[in-house]
């Protein structure tokens, strides 16, 4: 399955994910490197916090688009029609994961990226949009109640496997989707380790967007 073509597309998926939306937009239009402010992350949340909604919304949309585009690279693979449904889905997963890794460790900006939640959402939309939208709804509800972006992201990611396996009745689907659904909260917990520590110490800041 790891043909030369697939490796090239895998690399392309990583490079798409690695595009530093927050850093590029901040530097280009605001003469600001968002990594030097707030949480220090090159992601949508820190862009909202540092530069406001006018910058945060485009970054959020670009980061989501990165994950979605990477997953859909599978349709440009020459022999994709010859793959079984299981293998086709697995290739989509591999491309999506490459994009998330790219966002976390972007080669363009010294491997200093964001937490990958928006790119993961785009990834999820590309492979199973119904579960992705329900997870996004969980995020919105958690955020409206708590005002913590980090906590809401964690709760939404924890809900994802439950949504996939239980609510949408996908427990009889291919094993790759089940494994992926479990991978989502694991990644979220890893990338939000410092946020979890601050939440436990009650030092995490609630969202206050729109400085500029």
Rounded to two decimals, the pTM is 0.90
Average pLDDT over residues 9-38: 95
User: How large is the angle between the packed helices 53-71 and 21-30, nearest 10 degrees?
Assistant: 140
Spacing of C-alpha 47 from chain mean position: 15
Mean pLDDT: which of 52-61, 71-80, 172-181 is highest?
52-61
CA dihedral 62, 65, 66, 71 (to 10 degrees): 180
Average pLDDT over residues 192-208: 89
CA angle 52, 130, 141 (to 5 degrees): 45
Q: What are the pLDDT digits (tens) for 26-40?
A: 999 999 999 999 888
- Return the DSSP state at 105: S
Q: Using pLDDT thresholds of 50, 70 and 90, give the confidence band for residue 1.
A: low
**List of residues 6+ apart from 126 with CB closer than 8 A:** 67, 68, 70, 71, 72, 92, 96
Q: Note the residue count of the chain.
A: 212
Work out the end-to-end distance of the chain between its first and last CA atoms, rounded to an integer number of angstroms: 48
169's tokens: 């009745």
Residue with tokens 């999506």: 96
> If we measure between CA atoms, which residue out of 34, 24, 21 comes closest to residue 60?
21
């Amino acid at each position: 399955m790891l043909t030369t073509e697939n490796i090239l597309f895998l690399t392309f998926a990583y490079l798409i994910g690695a595009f530093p939306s927050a850093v590029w937009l901040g530097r280009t239009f605001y003469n600001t490197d968002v990594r030097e402010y707030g949480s220090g992350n090159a992601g949508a949340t820190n862009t909202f916090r540092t530069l406001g909604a006018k910058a945060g919304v485009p970054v959020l949309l670009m980061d989501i688009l990165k994950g979605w585009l990477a997953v859909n690279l599978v349709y440009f693979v020459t022999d994709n029609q010859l793959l079984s449904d299981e293998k086709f889905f697995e290739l989509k997963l591999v491309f999506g994961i490459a994009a998330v890794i790219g966002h976390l460790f972007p080669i363009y900006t010294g491997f200093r990226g964001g937490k990958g939640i928006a790119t993961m959402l785009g990834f999820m939309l590309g492979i199973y949009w119904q579960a992705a939208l329900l997870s996004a709804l969980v995020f919105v509800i958690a955020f409206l109640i708590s005002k913590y972006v980090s906590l809401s992201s964690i709760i939404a990611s924890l809900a994802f496997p439950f949504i996939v396996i239980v609510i949408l009745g996908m427990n009889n689907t291919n094993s790759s989707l089940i494994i992926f659904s479990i991978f989502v909260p694991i990644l979220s917990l890893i990338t939000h380790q410092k946020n979890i520590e601050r939440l436990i110490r009650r030092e995490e800041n609630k969202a206050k967007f729109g400085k500029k």
